[in-house]
Amino acid sequence: MKKDLGLLQAVYPMPVLMIGTYDEYGKPNVMNVAWGQIADMDKVILFIGEGKKTWLNIEKSKAFTVALADEAHMDVADFFGIASGNKIDDKFRRTGYHEAPSDKVNAPIIEEFPLVMECELIEFLKTESISAVIGKIVNVKAEESVLDENGKVDPKRLHALMFDSFQSGYYTTGEKIGQAWNEGIPLYKQGQ
């Protein structure tokens, strides 16, 4: 029997995304966003408050990067979620991390995170209920250490962080237990 739990953000897992932007002076800023997702084959949507430093930077630069946070860098990823770029002027420098300008978009790549999507702004979505940034993914870069022998990203090597909204915890990706678009084929074929 199910028990009523009230209002919860009952989606698990949620990705831990590091959004990299430059301000108007070329200073890097990074924001931790758990409310983001792939929106199409070449698009990403990030649910960010309109007044956030990241939002303001994207308005000016028309670009951003999205890195997947990983287990090895959990402390800094969490700091990027705790600290506001509107309140802490040296937020990025405080971490000691390194940034390099993307060669595809006007946004920083944070060297320490192993996988990054380079994105151009498509549009801002602002309604009475929601504010979001929609970007076109123009390129993905990954450290060789997270690639398998076929040159594809291996989740077991990536150790990407997942956010647990039930208990506010971080977890990492686990073992592969099945193959997408394969496990349901026996049911699909029933009755054909």
Residue 2 has pLDDT above 90, yes or no: yes
Query: Within 13 Å, how many C-alpha atoms sit on residue 144's CB side?
Result: 1
For residues 153-192, one letter each, b for 16 or more C-beta atoms within 10 angstroms of the residue's C-beta and e for the rest, the string is bebebbbbbbbeeeeeeeebbeeeeeeeeeeeeeeeeeee
Angle at 135 between CA 133 and CA 139, to 5 degrees: 150
Measured over the CA atoms of residue 19, residue 20, residue 22 and residue 27, the dihedral's sign is: positive
Residue 128 included in any domain: yes
**Which secondary structure element, helix H or strand E, spans residue 72, and what is its range?**
none
The parent domain of residue 125 ranges over 14-189
The SS3 of residue 86 is: coil
3-state helix, strand, coil in the chain (%, to 5): 20, 35, 45
Which two tokens mark 178? 């099945």
Each residue of 6-47: pLDDT tens digit? 988 888 889 999 999 999 999 999 999 989 999 999 999 999
**48 band by pLDDT with thresholds 50, 70 and 90:** very high
**Residue 80 belongs to a domain with what CATH number?**
2.30.110.10
> Largest Cα–Cα distance of the chain, in whole Å?
63
Per-residue confidence (pLDDT) for residue 132, from 0 to 100? 97
Residue 28 included in any domain: yes
Which two tokens mark 35? 């409310």
Residue 114 included in any domain: yes
Angle at 114 between CA 110 and CA 118, to 5 degrees: 60
Residue 7 included in any domain: no
- Residue showing tokens 């990823």: 77
Q: Into how many domains does the chain fold?
A: 1
CB 33 within 8 A of CB 80: no
**192 band by pLDDT with thresholds 50, 70 and 90:** confident
Residue 105 included in any domain: yes
Residue 4 included in any domain: no
Q: At a CB cut-off of 8 Å and minimum separation 6, what does 100 contact?
A: 108, 109, 111
Per-residue confidence (pLDDT) for residue 85, from 0 to 100? 84
Per-residue confidence (pLDDT) for residue 159, from 0 to 100? 95
Per-residue confidence (pLDDT) for residue 5, from 0 to 100? 87
Per-residue confidence (pLDDT) for residue 86, from 0 to 100? 83
